[in-house]
Amino acid sequence: MPTMSTEASDEGECKKHAALDVCREVTNRAPLLLPLAVVTGIIYGGAVGWSVVCVALLAACVLRAWRVLLCAVLCGVIVALCAALRQRTAERLQLTAQPPPSAVQVRGTVVRTLNRSCFVEIGMLGVRVAVYGEIPVQVGDRVRVVGELLPAQEPLVPGMFSPEEWMRGQGISARLACLRAEREGRSSFGYAALLRVAESMRSALADRLMPPGSEEDVRRQVLCALVLGEKERADDSTIDIFRRGGCLHAFAVSGLHVGIVASILWAFLRLCRVHPAAGRWVQLIGVGLYVFATGMAAPALRAYVMLAALLGALMLRRRVSFLNTWCFAALIILMLRPYQLHQPGFQLSFLVYGAICLGVRYGMSDSPWFGPDPYIPVRIHTSWERRAVSAELLVRGAVVVSLCAWLTSLPLSIVHFHVVNTASYLINILIAPLLPVVMLTGLLLLATSGVPLLGGVAQAGALGSAGWLVSLVGVFGSVPGAYLPAAPPAGAGDYMLLPLSNGKCACVLGNPGILTGDARGENVARHIVQPALFHAGYSPVLCPKLKDDAAMRIYSQSWPQLRYFTAPPGSAPQRFTTPAGVFTIFAPPAGLPTRYSANASPVIHWQRQDKRCLLFVGDAALSTFEAIPEDFQRADILILGYNSHEPITDPELLHAVGMERIILLPRARGHGVETSFPRETAENGSPQN
């Protein structure tokens, strides 16, 4: 027994020493890994973040890596001190006041303009506020703004655009509704001045790709977004094509674009027989100008920092550690802009790059999938066998690398966007050989635009390749099941209310069911109703015919099975049967005003599969309600709005419905409609049963 106990103890000691040796080797190869963990933990905060900090510092002590420990402590202190100073600045400016003051005054530099808003950066620590309103400013302008603090805006359902989450990713401390703004000059130095120069360069280059009058050309929109990262020039429909195909990452300048530009530039230098020593400097400067002109996004900066480290190592004849270079790039970005940690682009860029490196390493070490026997010496391979080896290596690399990238991005897509792109793995493999062609022809078009012969050839190649790219992504992205919500679909008996602005409300009854209410307008359809229904798992099959063709087009693209019906005044009731139950639509009687505010909208009676009834009166008039048969006036649930011409407010009439509960729409609450029944209010977009 003592002998067996001694052997077990020795085996445990050996495993312990082996684990320490592995940790020590990783630390030697990537000494910046532990400082990066400390900085990430401090920025993330909370119990999880500070646990990561403690583990990283403890690991440095156990491994006796004192220089690594000192570096980690210094980086952590700097990040924590800057965060505390930012918080103090925000509190001093009353940006975190609860309840908010009536007006707040800030002075800073405009670092970004977006539609009817701009981002103002205050001081040297990067405290940012978003200012909404018509302000004629440009990037780099110094402004003084007096505004009112806006409350937080939570998404109606998980998966919709979240302003608060987006603000956190942009490092914005508060949102202000502009009351008064004054321009105090322009910033001639610093980060804002660099951004102004970069924006002017990008705009000038984008004008060469998209001359005046060609703004509607989808191919030119793709060229501007793919080559320059100028996705603001792309229509919502174009972005939606790439979003559904899982290829929206191509619209943001990232490591893929930087790698392609670096490869093209290196091939050009080799073609011109430039000496490698001079070519590295040219490549470093040329790629740096490209990253600068495209806006210096975090993925592009990560790729450029790693490229600079690689070229610097080659110049100094030093060994390159890709893991340490990866850590160095992340550490630099987080030290300068800590809010980048919360951005999906930053997370996808660094994690997907790590997955690609692992995939490349595995693909190179794995045995061949097809081709000649790997044990046959290469020197006796025939020409066909050499081609087979190259083809096998290319196929193996594409499959393995794309699979690693897709598996890594899938959980991040679920967490941040609440969607699953089932076809993106295949689509990204198919477009991989096409993206360099689009980039090359787009860069040639930038260089030769205006040249009589070369410019025409480059334009034909760029537009043709961009058209092929759009067609390929559109065809495979439109396959049923290629773009799915991460949440399970809503039940057949569920319904959802979507409060909108100005007391309006859209509603979906059943799944599949009917979409009704104020579901009009292109912006409402594209940015509120369609995303909310998609992420909540609804697929409507019926909808009242809308006057807005743009909204109907958006709904029809999302749900091809959607049918539109009309209920003109005085028409007979219409009956529709779906798996969710039976819907009966009662049109308003003849003689009512046809204005929507006076309401000529119908009443919808829904008998669900569980035999329970729901009556959607909405903003229908009293005459419409009284005209329907008495049997259909009975319901378990009543959804009631307010009609300005003939409101329904009689308690006895509502008692006759025999309902268990009543749901008041925002317009009803705004006009003080009250009942003695158990009632609910449409406060959010949560599904109801």
Residue 213: the pLDDT is 84
* pLDDT above 80 for 381: no
Find, among 456, 471, 493, the residue nearest to 614 by Cα. 493
Residue 449: the pLDDT is 80
* pLDDT above 60 for 677: no
Higher pLDDT, 38 or 374: 38
Residue 252: the pLDDT is 79
Which residue(s) pair with 505 in the sheet?
A: 499
Contact between residue 221 and residue 266 where contact means Cβ atoms under 8 Å apart = no
What is the CATH number assigned to the segment(s) 104-188? Answer: 2.40.50
When pLDDT is averaged across residues 558-584 and rounded to a whole number, the result is 89
Q: Which of 349-353, 403-407, 516-520, 589-593 has the lowest mean pLDDT?
A: 589-593
Six token digits for residue 570: 């005085």
Where b means 16+ CB within 10 Å and e means fewer, 629-668 reads eeebbebbbbbbbbbeebbbbeeeebeebebeebbbbbbb
Tell me whether domains 104-188 and 495-688 share a fold: no
A 10 A CB-CB count for 373 gives 7
Task: State what percent of residues in the chain have pLDDT above 70.
Answer: 91
What radius of gyration, in Å, describes the C-alpha atoms of the chain?
30
Contact between residue 434 and residue 471 where contact means Cβ atoms under 8 Å apart = no
Six token digits for residue 535: 């992420």
* Cβ neighbourhood burial of 263 (10 Å; 0-12, 13-18, 19+): middle
When pLDDT is averaged across residues 462-471 and rounded to a whole number, the result is 91
* pLDDT above 70 for 630: yes
Q: How far apart are CA 613 and CA 222, in angstroms?
A: 49
SS3 674: coil
Sign of CA dihedral 12, 18, 20, 23: negative
Residues 215-235: tens digit of each pLDDT? 888 999 999 988 888 888 888
Per-residue confidence at 565, pLDDT binned at 50, 70, 90? confident
Six token digits for residue 441: 């022809």
Over the chain, what is the mean pLDDT? Answer: 83
Residue 482: the pLDDT is 84
Residue 6: the pLDDT is 60
Angle formed by the axes of helices 434-448 and 424-431, nearest 10°: 50
Residue 321: the pLDDT is 81
CATH 3.60.15 fits 495-688, yes or no: yes
Six token digits for residue 426: 């295949």
Which residue(s) pair with 544 in the sheet?
A: 565
* Cβ neighbourhood burial of 335 (10 Å; 0-12, 13-18, 19+): middle
Per-residue confidence at 515, pLDDT binned at 50, 70, 90? very high
Per-residue confidence at 10, pLDDT binned at 50, 70, 90? low
* pLDDT above 80 for 566: yes
Print the SS3 string covering 432-469.
CCHHHHHHHHHHHHHHHCCCHHHHHHHHHHHHHHHHHH
Q: Which of 379-388, 423-432, 559-568 has the lowest mean pLDDT?
A: 379-388
102 φ, ψ to 5°?
A: -65, -35
Residues 318-327: tens digit of each pLDDT? 777 888 888 8
Q: Which of 237-251, 458-472, 664-678 has the lowest mean pLDDT?
A: 664-678
SS3 4: helix
* pLDDT above 70 for 689: no
Residue 1: the pLDDT is 46
Q: How far apart are CA 295 and CA 224, in angstroms?
A: 13
When pLDDT is averaged across residues 359-382 and rounded to a whole number, the result is 72
Q: How far apart are CA 128 and CA 88, in angstroms?
A: 13
- Find where tokens 């015919």 sit: 545
* pLDDT above 50 for 604: yes
When pLDDT is averaged across residues 363-383 and rounded to a whole number, the result is 72
When pLDDT is averaged across residues 584-609 and rounded to a whole number, the result is 78
Per-residue confidence at 681, pLDDT binned at 50, 70, 90? very low
Residue 678: the pLDDT is 45
pTM, whole model, 2 decimals? 0.79
**Residues 6 or more apart in contact with residue 448 via CB below 8 angstroms:** 454, 455, 458
Higher pLDDT, 204 or 656: 204
Q: What are the residue ranges spanned by the domains of the chain? A: 13-92, 104-188, 200-477, 495-688
Q: How far apart are CA 373 and CA 173, in angstroms?
A: 61
